[in-house]
Structure 1
Amino acid sequence: MKSDIPNDERELDAWLSQTLQRNSDHIDDAGFTDAVMHRLPVRRAGRLSRVLWVLLMAGLAGLLALVLIPAPTWAYALAGALLATPLTVVIQVGLLATAVLVAGASYWVWQED
């Protein structure tokens, strides 16, 4: 039984070109593409809404903290802590926070693709 696909490279190129021009819209793969597409996980569209929800709750928690904690108490405590802390520790904490923020943003962007 002889195959329809030629063995010579030039004949194969000509056959592929002719076949692709004849069937430019669709290449029959016996339902393989449809089966793969049905097995893919459903993409959740609510990712942005969850991020906005978390930001809203964080903002509300911050406002609640400002209302419930008297201003001089937390302002003086924060200023006193910053003034008593050596500058190198403040810089290290700032660098660590920046690294965590960059890693989180990079992971989020990577997940979006």
Structure 2
Amino acid sequence: RLGGEEFVLMLPSTTTHEAMEVAERLRRAVELASIETGVGQLRATISLGVASLEDAASTLQELLAAADKALYDAKTAGRNCVRTLGGAPISAVDPATNERSLYRHR
């Protein structure tokens, strides 16, 4: 836990592309999950910011700052999405259909 509602996931030996795929699978899993409560179903979404050493971050502080900026971009884009600093489409596997598709980091 980095602070407040923010968590950091460190993925050693992982490219930006691979990290985006992990983040999108996590985002989708949270979006599809529900918890039954006494007053009905509880559903949640998450926004994720992805950064890697490939993004020219040379220190841990720079890496966390890049991820934080990407997270801020995801939140201002409407939440429930994954963002990198670049924001280009990434090819990913949709966990619901197991098909490869392009998604935009809205």
Smaller-chain TM-score bracket: under 0.3
* Higher fraction of strand: 2
TM-score after normalising by structure 2: 0.24
* Higher fraction of helix: 1
TM-score after normalising by structure 1: 0.23
